[in-house]
Amino acid sequence: MDDTQSTSELRPTQEKAPGFQSWRPYQSAQQCCEPSTHFQAENLSIVYRKHLALQNVNLEINKGCITALVGPSGCGKTSFLMSINRLTDLILGCQVSGRLLINETDIMAPFTDLLHLRRQVGMIFQKPTVFPFSIRKNLEIPLREHGMCDHATLASSIETSLQQVGLWDEVKDRLNQPAQGLSGGQQQRLCLARAMVLSPEILLLDEPCSALDPISSGIVEDLIVSLRGRYTVIIVTHNLAQARRIADYVALFWAVDGIGQLIEHGPAHTIFQSPQHELTSAYISGTRG
Amino acid sequence: MLSPSNTIGETGATLMVWTAVTLIATPFLWLSGDLLWYGWHQLSINFVVSVPQNAGREGGIGPILVSTGLIMTVCMAVAMPIGLGTALFLSEYTQNDQVSGRLIRGSLDVLAGVPSIVFGLFGNAFFCQLLGLGFSILSGGLTLACMVLPILIRTVEESFRAIAQDQRLSAAALGISQRATIQHILLPAAIPGVLVGCILGLGRAMAETAALIFTSGYVDRMPTSLMDSGRALSIHIYDLAMNVAGGNSNAYTTALVLIGLLLIINLSASWITKKWTTLNQLPS
Ligand SMILES: Nc1ncnc2c1ncn2[C@@H]1O[C@H](COP(=O)(O)OP(=O)(O)OP(=O)(O)O)[C@@H](O)[C@H]1O
Ligand SMILES: [Mg+2]
């Protein structure tokens, strides 16, 4: 609980809405938080029918930090993310084994309340997936589903969450218009607002900037940085420069003989400056992957 | 740039396309022209509301329209909830390769190909006799419901499947239960498809004769309850044309009314689809 205390002064862009102008590389990555494990994977393996997508992953993720998952296409990054909120349950033929602990609670245990888990763990997909309704309805659906019915409270939660992602000023006059009318970057931020409106503890971001132009991408990136300390963020990215800019920790996945594995994991500066594994140095120097 | 042989090929292709268009358009134009020619002069408000006389040779089609409306209402009232439920079951609760899903889909495909006279005989045996409903609007409507279910279910199921899996995943990722996802996200998104399915089913039911002969019957009086026998438009046409000497002129006019109604039904289906797609389109 004192993580939030110690990090409260490290929220540079939280007060005002993040804009592209305020974007700058985040330098002091390693001092983001008191290391305390929030999420832990033990011997995690994921199988799609016969195909082993991820094998024996052991990974600890610290509370309030930004952890970047990097690695070439098909090495199981998305599968890993989807196992954290057990979205893998919905994929036909997908089996997950091992232990996944959030705050020391095993979420793989039978009778886990999945709705509660998924409320605790928000997720953003690679492609913005707004519901085909109005902007307001997009945010109202999850709120109502989790028991908020009062109009005034709904309206204020919607406003707060849109302000958090810096979207409020852009959309406040068109809340009742279709969300598909927004630009890609705005849609992605709406998705982020929609995930954050439920105040999750962990945010899973699957290549949130890959479909965006540099400006929108910068805005979203700023936003992610502003979450440091308040949320535990796990972000998949193909953009090493981005990982360098925002991540406190980096985990490199690699498909060895078609089987995804965790190759190396550690503080971002260690991974980028003195990688232990040859694959890591090859990947970050761009000679492989 | 174009070699002569190419131009010839071009001309040949154009010719073929136009021949095909003419071949298809001719029967339709002929049919409508014929109906208009022989039926139009009699068409009036009076014809639409008045009671048939002299076995239908004179008078209008008022009670027949009412019976048709009632039969359609029964048909859709029964077919819509069952169709929607089955479609949801097929698209949301079964996987493509699951036995229950395969079984249901297989039976629906068979049912879709069954001639309507067989539905008529089945309706007669099951609803009229076994359930003791007799020749009645209720029997007719229920038989038609069985008949339109396959097409209805298939269209509605398709419209659910057309919704990207992303939507379901993002709903689940927000901790929204499957029931709520269906209710708040999938159903609203599939409404146009559901409506179009219903309208297509309605059109099919409206045009049906054989399934009604043995179930809703011939009686051309104004129905007073669903248990009364009632004559549908298509049966009226059939009867006038085949069994009543001198009924041709009224048969034509009735057919004109029926075609008009079918046209309205189909146009409204495409109107809904169009309206909905523009509504959901990016007004960038
Ligand atoms: N639904 C699925 N069914 C079967 N196999 C799958 C499925 N999803 C992923 N896989 C397989 O699992 C492996 C890992 O996939 P995953 O999507 O996790 O990779 P990724 O690291 O996210 O790749 P990318 O960077 O391209 O998004 C791949 O070999 C892929 O073919
Ligand atoms: Mg992926």
Residues B175-185 have pLDDT tens digits of: 999 999 999 99
The verdict on pTM exceeding 0.80 is no
Indicate the fold that domain A37-285 takes in CATH: Rossmann fold (3.40.50)
CA-CA-CA-CA dihedral for A234, A239, A240, A243, to nearest 10: -30
Residue A168 exposed, middle or buried by CB count within 10 Å (0-12, 13-18, 19+)? middle
Residue B3 maps to a domain: no
| B26 located within any domain | no
A142 chain-B contacts, CB cut-off 8 A: 174-176
Whether residue B282 and residue A123 make contact (CB cut-off 8 A), yes or no, is: no
Q: Do B180 and A145 touch (CB under 8 A)?
A: yes
**Proximal ligand: closest to the CA of A57:** 1
Q: Which atom of ligand 1 is nearest to the CA of A79?
A: 18
Q: Which residue reads 């020619």 in tokens?
A: B37
Atom 30 of ligand 1, nearest CA residue: A74
- What the block records as the tokens of A270 is 């260690």
Q: A238 C-alpha vs ligand 2 centroid, how far in Å?
A: 9
E strand intervals along A29-78: 37-48, 51-62, 66-70
Q: In chain B, how many domains are there?
A: 1
Token pair 């919905």 is found at: A90
pLDDT at position B280: 55
The rounded distance, in Å, linking the Cα atoms of B66 and B143 is 18
Which DSSP string corresponds to B185-220?
IIHHHHHHHHHHHHHHHHHHHHT--HHHHTTT-S--
Separation between Cα atoms, residue B267 and residue B261, nearest integer Å: 10
pLDDT of residue B4: 64
Least confident among A113-122, B3-12, B98-107: B3-12
Full DSSP string of A6-20 = HHGGG-TTTSSPP-S
Is A195's Cβ below 8 Å from some Cβ in B? Answer: yes
CA nearest neighbour of B121 among B103, B104, B146: B146
- Contact indicator for A105, A130 with CB cutoff of 8 Å: no
- The separation between the first and the last C-alpha atoms of chain B, rounded to the nearest angstrom, is 41
> How far is residue A153 from each of residues A131, A132, A191, B180, measured CA to CA in Å?
22, 23, 20, 21
Is the CB–ligand 1 distance for residue A219 below 6 Å?
A: no
Residue A117 contacts residue B174 (beta carbons within 8 Å)? no
Q: Report the DSSP pairing between strands A259-267 and B52-53.
A: unpaired
Least confident of A2-6, B155-159, B247-251: A2-6
**pLDDT exceeds cutoff 60 at B284:** no
Give the number of other CB atoms < 10 A from CB of residue B39: 21
Look at the block and give the residue holding tokens 């495409």: B270
Task: Say what the pLDDT of residue B188 is.
Answer: 85
Q: What is the CATH number of the domain that holds B195?
A: 1.10.3720.10
- Using left for φ > 0, alpha for ψ between -120 and 50, and beta otherwise, residue A41 falls in beta
What span, in angstroms and rounded, lies between the C-alpha atoms of A244 and A237? 11
Please count the residue pairs, one from chain A and one from chain B, whose beta carbons lie less than 8 angstroms apart: 76
Q: What is the rounded average pLDDT for all residues in chain B?
A: 88
Could you tell me if A145 and A131 are in contact, meaning their C-beta atoms sit under 8 angstroms apart?
Answer: no
Name the stretches of chain A with pLDDT < 50: 1-31
Say how many residues make up chain B. 284
Q: Does residue B15 sit within a domain?
A: no
* Full DSSP string of A165-199: TT-HHHHTT-TTSBGGGS-HHHHHHHHHHHHHTT-
SS3 content of chain B, % helix, strand, coil (to 5): 75, 0, 20
Percent residues over pLDDT 70 in chain B? 95
Residue B135 near residue B227 (C-beta atoms within 8 A) = no
Q: Is residue B79 part of a domain?
A: yes
Tokens of A41: 């994977």
pLDDT of residue B43: 86
CB under 8 A, 24+ apart: contacts of A146-150:
A146/A119, A146/A198, A146/B175
For residue B260, the enclosing domain spans: 45-279
CA A64 – CA A62 distance, rounded (Å): 6
Q: CA angle at residue B78 from B276 to B164, to 5 degrees?
A: 35
Q: Is residue B61 part of a domain?
A: yes
Task: Among A141, A180, A195, select the one facing B280 at the smallest CB separation.
Answer: A180
With a 6 Å cutoff on the Cβ, whether A74 touches ligand 1 is yes
pLDDT of res. A146: 87
Read off the pLDDT of each residue in B91-117 and give the average, rounded to a whole number: 87
Q: How confident is the model at residue B2 (pLDDT cuts 50, 70, 90)?
A: low
- For residues B41-69, average pLDDT: 88
pLDDT tens sequence across B252-278? 999 999 999 999 988 988 888 787 766
Q: What is the pLDDT of residue B39?
A: 86
Report CA B250 to chain centroid distance, whole Å.
Answer: 24
The sign one gets for the Cα dihedral A144, A146, A150, A153 is: negative
Q: Hey, where are the domains in chain A?
A: 37-285
CA-nearest of A256, A258, A276 to A266 is A276
pLDDT category at B196 given cuts 50, 70, 90 is confident
- Asked whether A254 lines ligand 1 (CB < 6 A), one says no
DSSP B244-264: STT-HHHHHHHHHHHHHHHHH
**Sign of the CA dihedral A213, A216, A218, A220?**
negative
